[in-house]
Structure 1
Amino acid sequence: MAAPTIMILDPADTVAVVLSDMAVGETREGITAGADIPRGHKVARVDIAQGAPILKYGQLMAVASAPIKAGDHVHSHNCALPEGSHAHSAIAARLPQAPSRQTFMGYARPDGRVGTRNFIGIMASVNCSSTVCDAIAAEANRLLLPKYPGIDGFAPIVHDQGCGMSNKGEGFDALVRTLKGYRDHPNFGGVLIVGLGCEVNQLTLYQPSDWTRERFHTFNIQEVGGSRSAVRRAVELLEPIAAAASKDVRTEQPVSKLTLGMQCGGSDGFSGITANPALGVASDMLVAAGGTSILSETPEIFGAEHLLIARAAPETGAKIEAMIDWWRDYAEKNGASLDNNPSPGNKKGGLTTILEKSLGAVAKGGMAPLSGAYAYSEKIDTNGFVYMDSPGYDPVAATGQVAAGANLIAFTTGRGSCFGAKPAPSIKLASNSDLARSMPEDIDIDCGVVVEEGTSLSEMGQHIYDLLLDTASGQKTASEEFGYGDNEFVPWKIGAVL
């Protein structure tokens, strides 16, 4: 079969997606192009009057800012955001049958959670100790890792917060919650937290959980003689932790112990029709097997939140609505608009409005019922498909998901995002085959075959699901092979810097 050259996502759509460059005068599926239209962009299927709705995925993605003729290129030059409320089509929740594969090989922790990796975390409580934590991790990886091959390495968790801020309020609470989530993460077989000593974010806030007490230490640089002394002291404390963690072994564990954080970055016109819905299929399979998947990035569900609310209990739906309201107010206070999205790269790839981008982004969540809605980095305490509030900035969103308990990340991209998320392995899904061919060192799965070869979304989803379980069992991802993850811990910075 010849590869399709145009895609209509829903019979009600007034636009179609061009799958390869379409020249002016060329006819496909009865549509004759009135201009050159790049691949991944949209062509009008019918005449659309100025002010009339433009539909994609069977949903409202924009209104026409000028008259549009059938065959016209539909993009930023003739699209605008609708004003006021508009009717939406909600879709009922459903789940597939549970997949046959329902176990993976992981590290069982005494608190009942299961790790997919066995790192030792070197955490900074404050920006002032970040350089020392980097030095500690480097020295421990040089001196200790060769002696204790049963661990995956010493991971520096460093950041630019912890002082110059109020010790109460949203910003401080989010930082403490995030650091505690990493302190207790099952992908850490041990943790050392290092402070300076005089900062707002004091080490006394981070007492160890009972099971980690023998593999947990803290100290302040000011109390051990300075920076070089801190590195020497850290290596002394880390050796017995490494010796103990190196004895941890993988055992067969149920998929219910997996928590998947789902991200998309550098999206394009194919993201919402290949990688994102294919990941949605895998997410549904994970949930059907008893696992948990997390959707985030609230500014990037704006305009598509109704698709989540329709699949949620009333109290969960109300939480989603409250998050959207908070973001409207937050953007307005900072002189911004939620339609600052899509980015220039998104638009070059064919995305026109935040509504269109959001409709494609929500596809990562599949069709499962929405079981809960959580604050940024709040511990996920239920299985199933859940939502966690976060910015659309990928490192911040992924940091919150890992703090909330994600022991695995799946990241879709159309333009070519580079990313890792220690201690959680991150698989990268390309929305188009050109990207997979041009950046093979960073891509784990080419979802572009949905378009280029006619691979079904269900088949693609099965492939992703299998790779998730293989990765959870120890198979390294492309980002892990390169070494990503040391610089991608970025807690959400909310509030004033004082």
Structure 2
Amino acid sequence: MTDLPLPLHAVALLLRPDDSVAVATRDLAAGTSLTLADGAPLTVLVDVPRGHKLAVLDVAKGGQVLKYGQSIGRATAPIAAGEHIHSHNLGMDATEREHEFGTARVTPEAPADLPRTFLGYHRADGRVATRNFIGVITSVNCSASAAKMIADQFRGMAMDAYPNVDGVMAITHQSGCGLVPDSEGGQMLLRTLRGYAQHPNFGGLLVLGLGCEMIPVSSLAEGLDLPEGLLVETMTIQDSGGVRATVRAGAEKIREMLPRVNEATRTPADISHLVLGLNCGGSDGYSGITANPALGVASDMLVAAGATSVLAETPEVYGAEHLLTRRATTPEVGRKLLDRIEWWKAYTEAGEGTLDNNPSPGNKAGGLTTILEKSLGAVAKGGTAEMTAVYEYAEPITDKGFTFMDTPGYDPVSVTGLVAGGATVVCFTTGRGSVFGCKPTPSIKVATNTEMYDRMSEDMDINAGRIVDGTASLPDVGREIFEKIIAVASGEQTVSEDLDIGQEEFIPWHVGAVT
């Protein structure tokens, strides 16, 4: 008895009627008989792994391959319906995209039952924090070890008497000297450090330097628009008498801060105070189908309620930027994004690379082939709302609504920029299983597929793979992510926080010469 052909939708997802490919939802063996929606037969010609692309149409060599209704590349060899489409037969499509401005502006409407408040720490400058940390921030790498020694004294039982303080964290980095302070890279580092120093999730701050660096302690602690009530102390190792003396004195300063920082309590705040950072890492073939668009639903809900969401990772919107410029509130906003794309083209060329070097090996193993495919899935994190602003790296985020920040695609560097800009919650989608945190801001990790979620459930907060499994709808998971954002902003611990991950992930973007 011959097995009856399976309908395509039972084993693969065709995302748009005119797409050239469908995404396999299970491993497909060569010889499997399928039936397309119009009744036409389709035989799987070679094995196609779960999450990878199955050709549903013949494509001539040089022809565009469509997914999401957009080109994800050009065939480098003739492709027959039923073949596996991947790096062996799909390459970059260098066709210039047409950039329109403001032609697809959408203002999302908030559901009537949307929660309107979260429990946060109200700061004197009007911002509302989601966490209440004390930070030991270093002006230069030379003070990094001393900063960690100070922070390490405030772990475990040492914090039991201060239930309203989330911890003491060291903010260390590998720069601060050997670079030109007025250069692009020097200003970027200074902007990042100042952004953390002014972050609402810090109730107290110890600024620690060596004493002879190019970016001195004074440049961080003086002249800043620090919130009233933020406790700030400054020290240098050279003036304090060396590392041991600095650690003793620094720890004493923290002990003096703790009772006052602990006085802060959570009280209701309108969710319009939230700033949500959107990031993805370890993407796979399901990222643009499950976790990313579900996060987009949550982003639209927050924007509808008057909050802010910030998309990032400029190299991972390359090839899909035309979809974002259509959402720009003004031509100037759209052109600023295009200007950053052009900067990246020159930057990667100077480094003997190109923007289509992406995706990573892990992305490709998960089914992604070209940067176009990756980017089209990545922009889904931003939902549908109009784009109100484009920021440079670590620039203060001041506009409400859906916005964009220019960052690299490397996750710790990207999220460091978002947090420096003021993100108070981060949502991080992953298909391969990224383990990530970003103190002092909580990071919610959303899995794109159930297989990875089950294998790494202790590292994931939400399983968006249920969308492909058929056990949850896209709107349902989007609402679940939204509710998790509110709960986490109100104090619920993420899995990353429970593992105490996030201190080592502070990595400012290094640009320019080190002298």
TM > 0.5: yes
Quote the residue 1:78 is aligned against. Answer: 89
| SS, match of residue 199 in structure 1 | coil
Q: Which residue of 1 aligns with 2:4?
A: none
User: Could you tell me which residue of structure 1 aligns to residue 3 of structure 2?
Assistant: none
Q: Which residue of 2 aligns with 1:15?
A: 21
Output one character per residue of 1:155-181: Cα deviation in whole Å (capped at 9) or x when no partner.
111110101111111101111101111
- Equivalent residue in structure 1 for 2:359, among 317, 333, 342: 342
Q: Which residue number corresponds to residue 185 of structure 1?
A: 199
- The whole-number CA distance in structure 2 between the counterparts of 1:88 and 1:58 is 17
Residue 57 (structure 2) pairs with residue 28 (structure 1): no
Q: Distance in 2 between matches of 1:144 and 1:405?
A: 29
Q: CA deviation at 1:416?
A: 0.4
What pairs up with 1:265-304 in 2 under 5 angstroms? 265-304=281-320
The match for 2:180 among 143, 163, 166 is 166
TM-score by length of 2: 0.94
Does the alignment pair 1:155 with 2:169? yes
Cα distance in 2 for partners of 1:215, 1:176 equals: 20
Q: In the comparison of the two structures, how many residue pairs are matched?
A: 497
Counterpart check, 1:52 vs 2:66: no
Q: Provide closer, same or farther for how the CA distance between residues 376 and 29 of structure 1 changes in structure 2, counting only shifts above 3 A.
A: farther
CA gap of 1:95–1:461, structure 2 versus 1, over 3 A, is farther
Q: Give the RMSD, CA atoms, in angstroms.
A: 1.6
Structure 1 residue 29, shift from structure 2 partner: 3.7
Work out which of the residue numbers 99, 105, 123 in structure 2 matches 1:93.
105
Q: Quote the offset at 1:89 in angstroms.
A: 10
- Offset, 1:454: 4.4
Task: Single out whichever of 249-258 and 23-32 deviates more from structure 2.
Answer: 23-32
Q: Is the CA contact (8 Å cut-off) linking 1:41 and 1:269 kept in structure 2? A: yes
Match of 1:428 among 425, 445, 469: 445
Measure the CA separation in 2 of the matches of 1:273 and 1:127: 41
Which residue of the partner structure matches residue 63 of structure 1? 74
Contact 2:16–2:69 (CA under 8 A) maintained in structure 1: yes
Q: 2:125 maps to which residue?
A: 111
Q: Distance in 2 between matches of 1:354 and 1:348?
A: 14
Instruction: Give the deviation of 1:198 after TM superposition.
Output: 0.6
CA distance in structure 2 between the partners assigned to 1:113 and 1:78 by the alignment:
51
Are the counterparts in 2 of residues 6 and 29 from structure 1 also a CA contact under 8 Å? no
- Matched residues, percent identical? 50
Amino acid at match of 2:147: C
* Among candidates 108, 131, 151, match of residue 145 of structure 2: 131
Distance 1:278 1:210 in 2: 36
Paired amino acid for 1:387: F
Partner of 2:403: 386
Q: Which runs of 5+ in 1 are unaligned?
A: none
Q: Which amino acid aligns with 1:140?
A: F
Q: Distance in 2 between matches of 1:214 and 1:110?
A: 9
Cα distance per residue 1:133-187 (max 9 Å; x no partner): 1110011336852332220100111110101111111101111101111101111
Partners of 1:152 and 1:214 in 2: CA distance = 15
The Cα shift of 1:196 comes to: 0.4
In structure 2, the residue matched to 1:198 is 212
CA distance in 2: counterparts of 1:210 and 1:115, whole angstroms: 14
TM-score by length of 1: 0.97
Aligned-partner SS, 1:139: coil
Counterpart residue identity of residue 480, structure 1: E
Deviation per CA, 1:221-242: give whole Å up to 9, x if none: 1111111111111122112221
Aligned CA distance change for structure 1 residues 60 and 89 (closer, same or farther; 3 Å): farther
Question: Is this contact kept in 2: 1:144–1:239, CA < 8 A?
Answer: no
| Equivalent position amino acid for 2:238 in 1 | Q
State the distance in 1 between where 2:346 and 2:511 align. Answer: 14
Displacement of 1:95 after TM fit?
3.9
1:260 aligns with 2:276: yes
| Superposed structure 1 runs of 4+ greater than 4 Å apart | 86-91
Change (3 A) 1:468 1:10: same
In 2, the alpha carbon distance for the partners of 1:145 and 1:371 equals 41
What is the CA deviation profile of residues 443-470 of structure 1, one whole-angstrom value per residue up to 9, with x for unaligned ones?
0000000011242111110000000000
Shift of 1:80: 1.0
Q: Which residues in structure 2 correspond to 1:341-490 (within 5 Å)?
A: 341-490=358-507
**CA distance in structure 2 between the aligned counterparts of 1:232 and 1:143, rounded to whole angstroms:** 19
The answer to whether the 8 A contact 1:58-1:89 is kept is: no
Q: Secondary structure at the match of 2:50?
A: coil
SS at 2:476 equivalent: helix
- The answer (yes or no) to whether the contact 2:415–2:438 under 8 Å persists in 1 is yes
Q: Which amino acid aligns with 1:341?
A: N
**Whole-angstrom CA distance in 2 between matches of 1:19 and 1:93:** 33
